[in-house]
């Protein structure tokens, strides 16, 4: 520990940015969940450039020491994280009053950043990675220190511009402007191949911000538990008869990592048997010890016995299995165990650097191969994907409903030449969860993952917000049309049980799927409760980028857009620009996230509610646009549910005028000659 750093307080450390004196070198913490070593991709000259880039954060007199150290980091980790500069204070979201900021919005952002780096929230905290294997908040610790310093000193007429974790600086702006503008991984389009990310990230000039990591809006696994629960409940609804329930029925999947670890918990809330395979023993144990899985099993014989018994007894059970998921699919087929619902949540957005572990290799063997022979590793991943799909196909013949849960499984399987294409040789054999479930049932009506964080850090405030949100949804449901009754019921049930489900990890946060009306009414009621003192401190509003309007991603969020525009990214760009001048406290736009670098553009916002009239104006103005922008686009793509929703909104809001599509008769096109 650095004795000098200890002498100054937490607040002073935040204010000083890069320390005045060189902190002592740190040993890598023994029990840390280390990020996979990244590909050695830079040429010798590029390696020198990476060191030159890293050293520009520091005074010249430190360069001789740091250059050797950073060269070692580049060699050993494939990246320069600047571990020496990680602060010694504990990393977690404190209450908003603790931060030494001049303005509340800046303090709220500092709180959100620290929450995203809290070791109980973040997947690889030493490497500033929050989730998804490579979802970074910053590229290195110097960027963290400088950003916190800028936030601590900014005024209400300045805006901090952040380029992929690097704080470019504070620029004069206005009181109504966002306080922070974040971009992550934005590239000139031709430079967005996977190896471009490896190269430019290693050079220290870009990063993969995932969706919410790089925008400081990740709230721990709760967000994904809710989304997975909604998806899984509806997946079972699709295959079960009206008098059946999910008890005793198997949901087989993989991954117990940052987001995937939510699956067993969601399975228990849905009420099925979850079998979740995970090759990384540490990740599996973590979820088991957190109580997110009921049993931990490390051999196939025990797994088969437990699964069969649970099926026979109609149990609700979450099983974490340490091993490769392909082995489980194959073993269950041999053992004639019926899998009702299947999915996958390996990190296939990042297939060649440890996102997907090929069957036939141990976890440790695979990690060595990634580094020592990336070409052979890639071949093994693709071979494994072919086997993976082949065995899922056999289960599907027995009736399994398999869906892609947004990890690029179908896309990478098709690139690996697995037997994944439908008979028309264009579509995939299996739907993405957005095509079948979330798109038509939620996004097209405007329902998406709205969330909030109580900056007092007090559970009592969170309880109050839960109660307010439940009352508002119940009121809305009383007069809501039939089309959105189910969505409202599912979310009323969720919020009613949210506390009991003990979903809070890190800051006092809550997620809920709501439409534009629900989001605005809930936010407005929070703002009033803050003004009256019923809620003791400001509340941060936000959402997952994975939402109605925030994300253009042809194989995920916009996979149910069928007018050919799903490969465009206009919606996400309009969303973030539109939010930025309608009152957002911070906005972000990212390349990559969820399905991979170059495969998606996604954006989001954060908004601080402080009980003021200005906050009321902002929330009304911005939340309305934030949701209806996407509904308008989905409606223009001729999605019936979205046409219904935008027409309904235009009736309620005379100031909204959206171009509606004219539907063309099929018979007209059939008669055309070209």
Ligand X SMILES: NC(=O)c1ccc[n+]([C@@H]2O[C@H](COP(=O)([O-])OP(=O)(O)OC[C@H]3O[C@@H](n4cnc5c(N)ncnc54)[C@H](O)[C@@H]3O)[C@@H](O)[C@H]2O)c1
Q: Which residues bind ligand X (CB under 6 A)?
A: 123, 131-133, 224, 227, 254-260, 277-280, 283, 324-325, 345-349, 355-357, 405-407, 546, 594
204 contacts 73 by C-beta, under 8 angstroms: no
Least distance (Å) between residue 277 CB and ligand X: 4
Rounded to the nearest 10°, the torsion over CA 443, 122, 523, 445 is 0
CA distance 337 to 400: 11
Residue facing ligand X at closest CB distance: 257
DSSP state of 432: B
Using the minimum distance from each CB to ligand X, give the nearer residue, 70 or 329. 329
Q: What are the backbone dihedrals phi and psi of residue 334, each rounded to the nearest 5 degrees, phi first?
A: -60, -40
Least Å distance, CB 464 to ligand X, is: 28
CB closer to ligand X out of 54 and 601: 601
* Shortest Å distance, C-beta 375 to ligand X: 19
Query: Shortest Cβ distance from residue 485 to ligand X (Å)?
Result: 24
The alpha helices in 204-273, defined as continuous H runs, are 222-239, 263-270
Q: How far apart are CA 421 and CA 392, in angstroms?
A: 13
As measured in angstroms, the least distance from the Cβ of 371 to ligand X is 16
Q: Which is nearer to ligand X, 107 or 503 (CB)?
A: 503
When the beta carbons of 227 and 604 are compared against ligand X, the nearer one is: 227
Sheet holding 295-297, edge to edge: 295-297, 317-322, 273-278, 250-254, 341-342, 401-402
CA–CA distance from 279 to each of 227, 291, 317, 566, 643 (Å)?
24, 19, 20, 34, 44
| Measured distance CA(374)–CA(37) in Å, rounded | 12
Beta bridge partners of 428: 421
Shortest reach from residue 335's CB to ligand X, in Å: 18
Asked if 111 and 218 count as a contact pair (C-beta separation under 8 A), the reply is no
The answer to whether residues 319 and 295 touch, using CB atoms and an 8 Å cutoff, is: yes
Whether the CB-CB separation of 632 and 649 falls below 8 Å is answered with no
Choice between 355 and 611, CB closer to ligand X: 355
Q: Which C-beta is closer to ligand X: that of 356 or that of 625? A: 356
Closer CB to ligand X, 263 or 455, in the complex: 263
The minimum distance between CB 655 and ligand X, in angstroms, equals: 33
Distance CA 298, CA 114 (A): 35
Q: Are 441 and 511 in contact (CB under 8 A)?
A: no
Q: How far is the CB of 307 from ligand X (least distance, A)?
A: 16
**Cβ at position 556, least distance to ligand X in Å:** 7
Q: Burial of 674 by CB count in 10 Å (0-12 exposed, 13-18 middle, 19+ buried)?
A: exposed
- Stretch (H or E) spanning 259: none
CB of 13 or CB of 123, closer to ligand X: 123
State the DSSP H helix or E strand holding residue 628, giving kind and residue range, or none if neither. Answer: helix 613-636
Task: Between 120 and 485, name the residue whose CB sits nearer to ligand X.
Answer: 120
Sign of CA dihedral 555, 561, 562, 568: negative
Closest among 615, 593, 564, 235 to 432, alpha carbons compared: 235
For residue 211, give both structure tokens. 């969706």
Q: Which is nearer to ligand X, 130 or 183 (CB)?
A: 130
Which of residues 342 and 355 has its CB atom nearest to ligand X in the complex? 355
Q: Residue 117 has which token pair?
A: 């780096």
Q: How far is the CB of 384 from ligand X (least distance, A)?
A: 7
Of 74 and 259, CB closest to ligand X: 259
> Whose Cβ is closer to ligand X: residue 257's or residue 542's?
257
Q: Is the dihedral of CA 476, 478, 479, 481 positive or negative?
A: positive
Give alpha helix (H) positions in 86-167: 104-117, 141-153
Nearest distance from C-beta of residue 605 to ligand X, angstroms: 18
Angle at 451 between CA 445 and CA 457, to 5 degrees: 165
Q: How far is the CB of 381 from ligand X (least distance, A)?
A: 9
Question: Closest approach of Cβ 404 to ligand X, in Å?
Answer: 9
Least distance (Å) between residue 386 CB and ligand X: 13
| Number of neighbours of residue 651 by Cβ within 10 angstroms | 9
Contact 553, 559 (CB under 8 A): yes
Least distance CB 410 / ligand X (angstroms): 12
User: 410 to each of 386, 392, 431, 545, how far by Cα in Å?
Assistant: 11, 12, 9, 21
Instruction: Return d(Cα 244, Cα 586) in angstroms, integer.
Output: 46
**With respect to ligand X, which residue has the nearer C-beta, 115 or 456?**
115
Identify which of residues 405 and 447 has a Cβ nearer to ligand X in the complex. 405
What element of type H or E holds 538? none
CB 187 within 8 A of CB 208: no
Q: What one-character-per-residue DSSP string does 196-207 give?
A: HHHHHHHHTS--
Using DSSP's 3-state secondary structure scheme, residue 496 falls into helix
Pick 99 or 428: Cβ nearer ligand X: 428
CB of 343 to ligand X, least distance (A): 9
Q: Six-digit token pair at 245? A: 């329930």
Least Å from the CB of residue 5 to ligand X: 31
Short-list 606, 628, 468, 467, CA closest to 543? 606
For residues 78 and 40, the answer to whether their CB atoms sit within 8 Å is yes
Return the number of the residue (220 or 611) whose C-beta is nearest ligand X: 220
């Amino acid at each position: 520990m650095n004795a000098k750093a200890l002498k100054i307080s937490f607040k002073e450390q935040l204010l000083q940015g890069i320390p005045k004196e060189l902190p002592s070198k740190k040993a890598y913490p023994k029990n840390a969940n280390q990020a996979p070593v990244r590909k050695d991709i830079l040429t010798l000259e590029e390696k020198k450039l990476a060191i030159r880039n890293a050293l520009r954060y520091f005074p010249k007199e430190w360069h001789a020491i740091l250059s050797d150290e950073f060269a070692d980091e580049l060699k050993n980790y494939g990246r320069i994280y600047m571990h020496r500069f990680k602060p010694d204070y504990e990393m977690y979201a404190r209450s908003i009053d603790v931060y030494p900021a001049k303005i509340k919005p800046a303090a709220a952002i500092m709180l959100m950043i620290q929450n995203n780096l809290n070791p109980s929230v973040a997947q690889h905290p030493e490497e500033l990675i929050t989730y998804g294997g490579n979802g970074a908040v910053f590229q290195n610790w110097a960027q963290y220190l400088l950003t916190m310093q800028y936030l601590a000193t900014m005024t209400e007429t300045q805006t901090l511009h952040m380029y992929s974790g690097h704080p470019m600086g504070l620029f004069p702006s206005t009181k109504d402007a966002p306080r922070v503008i974040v971009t992550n991984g934005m590239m000139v389009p031709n430079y967005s191949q996977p190896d471009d990310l490896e190269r430019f990230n290693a050079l220290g000039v870009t990063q993969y911000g995932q969706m919410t990591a790089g925008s400081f809006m990740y709230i721990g696994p709760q967000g994904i538990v809710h989304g997975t629960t909604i998806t899984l409940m509806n997946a079972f609804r699709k295959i079960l008869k009206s008098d059946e329930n999910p008890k005793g029925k198997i949901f087989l999947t993989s991954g117990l990592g940052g987001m995937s670890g939510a699956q067993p918990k969601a399975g228990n809330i849905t009420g099925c048997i979850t079998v979740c395979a995970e090759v990384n023993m540490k990740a599996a144990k973590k979820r088991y010890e957190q109580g997110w899985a009921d049993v931990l099993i490390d051999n196939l014989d025990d797994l088969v016995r437990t699964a069969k018994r649970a099926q026979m007894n109609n149990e609700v059970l979450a099983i974490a299995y340490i091993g490769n998921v392909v082995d489980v699919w194959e073993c269950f087929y041999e053992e004639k165990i019926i899998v009702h619902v299947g999915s996958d949540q390996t990190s296939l957005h990042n297939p060649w650097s440890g996102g997907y572990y090929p069957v036939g290799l141990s976890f440790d063997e695979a990690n060595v191969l990634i580094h020592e022979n990336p070409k052979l590793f890639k071949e093994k991943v693709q071979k494994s994907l072919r086997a993976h799909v082949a065995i899922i196909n056999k289960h599907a013949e027995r009736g399994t409903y398999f869906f892609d849960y947004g990890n690029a499984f179908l896309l990478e399987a098709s690139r690996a030449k697995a037997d994944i294409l439908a008979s028309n040789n264009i579509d995939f054999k299996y739907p993405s969860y957005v095509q079948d479930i979330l798109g038509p049932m939620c996004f097209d009506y405007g329902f998406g993952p709205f969330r909030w964080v109580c900056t007092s850090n007090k559970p009592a405030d969170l309880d109050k917000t839960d109660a307010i949100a439940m009352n508002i949804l119940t009121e809305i449901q009383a007069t809501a049309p039939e089309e959105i009754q189910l969505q409202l019921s599912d979310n009323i049930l969720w919020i009613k049980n949210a506390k009991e489900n003990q979903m809070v990890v890190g800051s006092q946060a809550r997620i809920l799927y709501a439409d534009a009306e629900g989001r605005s009414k809930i936010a407005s009621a929070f703002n009033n409760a803050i003004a009256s003192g019923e809620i003791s401190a400001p509340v941060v509003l936000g959402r997952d980028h994975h939402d109605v309007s925030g994300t253009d991603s042809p194989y995920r969020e916009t996979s149910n857009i069928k007018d050919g525009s799903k490969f465009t990214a206009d919606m996400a760009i309009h969303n973030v620009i539109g939010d930025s001048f309608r009152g957002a406290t911070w906005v972000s736009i990212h390349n990559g996230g969820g399905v991979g670098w170059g495969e998606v553009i996604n954006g989001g916002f954060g908004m601080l509610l402080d009980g003021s009239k200005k906050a009321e104006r902002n929330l009304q103005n911005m939340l309305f646009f934030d949701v209806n922008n996407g509904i308008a686009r989905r409606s223009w793509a001729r999605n019936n549910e979205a046409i219904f929703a935008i027409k309904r909104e235009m009736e309620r809001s005379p100031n909204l005028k959206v171009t509606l599509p004219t539907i063309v008769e099929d018979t007209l096109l059939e008669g055309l000659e070209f």
